[in-house]
Amino acid sequence: MVKKSAEQGDVNTQLTIANLLREGKGVTKNETEAPKVQYNIGIMYLEGRILDKDIKTAIKLFESAAKQIIFKRK
């Protein structure tokens, strides 16, 4: 049910899944997927697709995704 909700565009569910993937809580830790999910949600906010356009939220999500990628590579 959670996966279906995320696939249908529920942003809160998508963010929760991204955080779970990043932290490995209740799922196999997958630091590669979490930033991708946050980036994609950021695009939806930036372009106003499915979600109301919100540039500030988009930027926060992009920054969070970028930080995860940078820390992973160090």
Residue 42 amino acid letter? G
Q: Which residue has the higher pLDDT, 24 or 1?
A: 24
pLDDT at 54 over 60: yes
Instruction: To the nearest 10°, report the CA torsion of 8, 12, 13, 19.
Output: 140
Q: What is the DSSP letter of 73?
A: H
- Burial of residue 74 (number of CB atoms within 10 Å: 0-12, 13-18, 19+): exposed
Number of domains in the chain: 1
Mean pLDDT of 43-61: 88
This prediction's pTM? 0.60
CA–CA dist 56, 46 (Å, integer): 9
Which residue shows structure tokens 């696939």?
Answer: 7
Mean pLDDT calculated for residue range 35-61:
87
pLDDT value, residue 53? 92
Domain limits for position 62:
2-73
Of the chain, the percentage scoring pLDDT greater than 70 comes to: 80
